[in-house]
Every structure is written in structure tokens, then in C-alpha cells.
Amino acid sequence: MSEPKAKFEIAKLDGAIIAEEDDGIRLDRWFKRHREGTPHALLARWARSGQLTLDGKKADVSDRIATGQKLVMPTPPVEAEARPARKGRPLTDADIELATGMVIHRDASAIVLNKLPGLATQGGTKTEQHVDGLLDALKYDAPVRPKLVHRLDKDTSGALLVARTPRAAAYFAKSFSNRSAKKTYWALIVGVPDIQQGEIDLPLAKQPGSGGEKMHVHDSGLASKTRYRVIERAGNSAAWVELQPLTGRTHQLRVHMAAIGHPIVGDGKYGGKGAFLTGSISRKMHLHSRRLRIDHPDGGAIDISAEVPEHFAASLDALGFDRLLGEIGIDDAAKGPPPKAALKAQAKAHSKQIRKARRGERRGRTADSKPTDFVGKAKPKPKTGKPPARKPAGKSPSAKKNPPRPARPR
């Protein structure tokens, strides 16, 4: 009688050494890049049963891996290996031109894009064209595909960081999560805040019934803080502001500005009909990621500014705003004196305000009248009553107390 076959066979083992470009990423992300056909459920089963090890120790799918570590794993089944990797649609010449045209910074570890308004960062329902789908056009000479490390709303334009290596992606992701990365936005808002510079501290939560697509201020929400500074105002109808999110909640800047009664121009989702200005001002969103500052994984830092899109620039000009005034940032103003160009722009803006204030003055003056120095202030009322009595002519009291000394005889 032949011996019965074993119910379980010992799995064949496979191994790999973690390369430098994979330093800092999660173990499941390593499998997604290097063993694309391995189902996540199978990977989790290997981890639970102890068949995944790093340097001889049991590993979990969420563990961060490091350069030089030895990874041991079972050989994936044939059907898993044969599963094709999911691919997006092939890029056209127009797609490649669009992607490369947005690049404003590139080095060995990072790419910074000036994202166009209306272009989604990632795909979704009925969203075929997005930044993530264009990243194959930005590989250049790198061995791996670039990776997004943060996102911007579809209608928000400006600086968007993309990592060129897995190591850089892990480094940048950590910078955004611990808030060491500094993001500065420009926005046009409806109306003018009473306080020219301050901080908005309002908790945000997902609005019920919106499917998570809309946020609102709620006491049970997550803590959310935004710093703001009014750069310049157009009367009482609109203002150009600088915004700096101190937390990273969904739609944070948009909800905060609408909550204080000054929605971002063009943001009908949170500002309703009141978010649109009349005249030649575009109905597009006027929110722009102007500046990004973040430490670089290879040393030093990235400090890059993105130019505003055409509709934003046209609105600044239409409202008579001086772009040099935006050179003074919230952080820069506290560090030291502003640049000369910004000082010149401030003086120009001040002169403009004085001219506006003088428009209401009476134009017809008598020959003896002189220009007043009380611009924008109430003129002092003339004093009534008897004029003060004049002191009698003669020697002053001090002269009596200190009479002149006689000359010394020679």
C-alpha cells in the first residue's frame, strides 16, 4: 500500500533584496511595483501565516522597508503571475505636450507642475483626463513612473509636487503629513474681511447627504486652521488674499472663506450665487497654489512659485490690483523688511487710496484756501468763544528771577 500524499505541500520560497529606490515604502507597495500580479488577499494571507519575512523576522503588509533588507516570500501561483497589470489609455502627442508644458521644476527626485484649472489630479467617475494619467509622459530618464504625493482640487490651479523615485515619494509624503511642507495660496474673495490678517479656526466634517463630496463647519469635525492676509482690496466688493492652510482638510480653504462670509470668487459649490462677480470677472474658480516650500530628500529645499492662470491674471488686472503687492508673504513679513519692489508697490497703492479719498472733497476752493492734510478724516471744528487773553508786554517772569549779571571790571 502506497503512503498517503501530504495534505499541504511546502511552498517554494522566493527572495529579493530591497533596492535604494524602494527605501521607505510600504511592503504592499513593493509587491504592487515588483510583483504586480499578486492579489492583496493572498499577500495578507502570507503575512498572517508568517511566510513573509524581512531579514528573517515576520513582516506585515504595512511595514516600511529599507534599502538592503532581505525579503523572503512564497512563489506566487501561476494564475497570479499571469494576471496582466492594469494599464491606462495610451498617451497621445497632445497628452505629452500638456504634461511637459506644466513642468516648472525638475531634478533627480522631484517634479513640480503648475497644474491647470479644470484638470483633475486623479481619476474618478467620468474623469478620463487627469494628472495621474499623464505621469507616464514625465518619466524622462527615470526607471520608474513618477508618483503623486499630494493633490489639488480639480478647479484649483498651481504648484503640484510629483516624486520621481519611491524613496522621494516616502520622504515627501512624510513632510506633508507632519506639516513641515509650507503651501501658500492666492485667492480672490467676495467682499473684504474686517480684520486684515488673522487665523480661521473652525472644525470641518463631511456634510451628510453629500456622499462625502462636500464639507461643512461642525463642532464634531476635525480641527482645521487657516491663516489669511488681505493683500489688496477693490473697494468693498472684492479682495485679493493670501491663504496658508495649517491643516490639510478636504476643501478647507473654500469652506473657511465661505464660513466667514467671503467665498472664493467662482466657488458656487460653497458660495452659491453670491460667489460670482459681475462685469468682466471670470466665473471660474479663483484659487491658486502660488508657492510650495518643502525640504528635499537629497539636501536643501524646494521653494517654487507658480504663475497664475490666464483667467486669474485677467481678474487681477480688471480689479486694478498691483501684483507686486503679493511679493510679501505671511511668513516673509515677519522675518524682516520686505523687498524693494514690494515697498514700491505699497507706496503706489497708498497713493492710490489717498487719491480715491480726495475725490469727494470740494473741488471749488477760494484763492486763499490751501490743500488739507486731513485726507479720509473728519476736519477739525473751528474753536468758538473768546480768544485767549494776550500777556502784557514786558519782561518775562524768568527775566525777573534771573536778572543779568553786571560786567566784571577789567
Q: Give the residue numbers marked as catalytic.
A: 153
Widest pairwise Cα distance in the chain: 154
CA proximity to 128, closest of 153, 157, 91: 91
Strand stretches in 248-300, DSSP E: 287-295
CA proximity to 240, closest of 333, 326, 345, 155: 326
Q: How many CA atoms lie within 13 A of 305 on its CB side?
A: 7
Whether the CB-CB separation of 13 and 73 falls below 8 Å is answered with yes
Q: What is d(CA 233, CA 241) in angstroms, rounded to the nearest whole number?
A: 9
The H or E element containing residue 400 is helix 397-401
DSSP 176-212: HHTT-SEEEEEEEEES--SSSEEEEE--EEEPTTTTT
Residue with cell 513640480: 112
Q: What is d(CA 302, CA 167) in angstroms, rounded to the nearest whole number?
A: 16
Angle between helix axes 40-48 and 27-34 (nearest 10 degrees) is 130
Whether the CB-CB separation of 74 and 51 falls below 8 Å is answered with yes
Distances in Å between the alpha carbon of 90 and those of 94, 229, 320, 335?
11, 44, 44, 48
Helix (H, G, I), strand (E, B) or coil at 9: coil
